[in-house]
A and B are shown apart, each in its own frame.
Chain A
Amino acid sequence: MDATLGQLVEQVRGATQARTPLRIRAGGSKDFYGNPSRGQILDPRPWQGIEAYDPSELVVTARAGTRLAELEAVLAAQGQMLAFEPPHFGPDATVGGCVAAGLAGPRRASAGYTHGGLRDFLLGARLLDGRGQLLRFGGTVMKNVAGYDVARVLAGSLGVLGLLVDVSLKVLPLPRAEVTLRFELGEAQALERLCDWQGRPLPVSGSAWCQGALTVRLSGAEAALAAARGRLGGEAIAAADASAFWQDLREHQLEWFAGELPLWRLAVPPQAPPLALVGAQLIEWGGGQRWLRSAQAPARIREEAARLGGHATLFRGGDRAGGVFSPLNPALLAIHRRLKQAFDPAGIFNPDRLVQGL
């Protein structure tokens, strides 16, 4: 075994023996996210680099400690991208942290084949479990139904099942062209419009409503964009401004995200009506992701998300001691506990981070 990887294995085995909690942390760009955790730092950054990348296979395999920015630069040089457009939240974000957080950017709710979140593009992963074993799930091919799809469960697992070692991600060609349109619309009208567009063959690859303006990105062949523009109307935004807008949205650098009020993320069915909550809102993903700046009681916000068929996460700030994610029902919680026990019997990895008490 490679010496660098060997050291990580040793650290995990030692921690399991001593039952010492480990807090997996690389660049620290997502320290703010999830429940408060504890433990000795386990830093995978020495294990970095791209293991395999053949653009015509549409797959890249990278070590967990690889900087996300480096990976994206390598893909862009070949005219390809991570189609879930993950937020970095800092220059030191790593591939492992990106997968463990499971977050996606504006392109998550694209029409057509770029549709999907991080797990939809995760083809395989190697995991260092609590016994210090290296387990390889999935693979590097698009279609693979051999065994349970454990790799995809690691997306968004916040490291509670083990340390991600390498991941294989499906990549896609960069769009041939893009155009961004803006419409002056109120919240309800914007949601209605987005719903209608979703059911039509339109190349929408991003949407954001806030402060009375709906911004929509289209991606695809030149001819398709021209045809779609004709149908949609709206005011086209200059390419440089548009590119800055989507980048700032993805990284939460828009002016809207500044300030001290707690930031909530509500994931709801896209067609859900406007939220009956007090606070400023930014709506993405065709209505499916609603950012809310609000000082309202967490219980009230969770109740509203549940009423609409979704869930609410205290994304940044606020009082995090009470748990930032919507609680699981007993049947699902029991399965979570048994999975945790199976992969991390000593309970050393990122205690509480995803589910309090787990």
Chain B
Amino acid sequence: MYKKSLPLVLAALVAFSAPAPAAESVAPPKQHWHHQGVFGTYDKASLQRGFQVYKQVCSACHGMKLLSYRNLAGLGYNEDEIKAIAAEYTVVDGPNDDGDMFERAARPADRFKAPFANDKAARAANGGALPPDLSLVVKARHNHEDYIFALLTGYQNPPAGEEGLPGMSWNKYFAGHWISMAPPLVEGAVSYADGTDASVEQMAKDVTQFLAWAGEPHMEERKKMGIKVMLFMFVFAGIMLAAKRKVWAAVH
């Protein structure tokens, strides 16, 4: 999406900076995203559904350590809803006045609860593979949203004759194709609160948008301010051009 909203940057510079994608990867097909483009905003209903997918599926293995429950306000939840969501989790706090650590219900200010105590525990539970933190995953992959969506929907039977290690799956869009993550989304894995049909594609689309929001929570504010700034700059440039023309009129 970032490269698409690029009418203002010299095309040559983009060619300059375009990274060579990692070897053996298949370019993911372009998707349309509600939040792309100069006026694009997040689809809040989709973000909430995406959060539900993260909560019920992804969060079993993947943490989002840069997010706090209070950030969910960006999805359109109100204070009470956020308190209720946080309270579903138990976190360790302390030490208390007796010097002991204790458990309590999570509060909006707490970070998302991590699925594992540390990276080693995560690897031990996942056959040696480390499930990456998802806070920035959309920004940290080439082709951004398109790649995440393609990966989640790109599980296929391996080509005839190819044999992977046990526990590995074949994915069309993963570099090298053999991925440690088993297909995470199956038809009806969640039952959406708003009644939307939970097809694999729908869930992938929703969770991708949620992850895009998680990486760039101030995007809407940025674009809104950007439009005002651009309007100001266009007027400013016009005034400067008029002033320059008037000053130089006698010289021409």
The answer to whether A and B come from one shared complex is no
Query: Which residues of B are at the interface with A, using a C-beta cutoff of 8 A?
Result: none
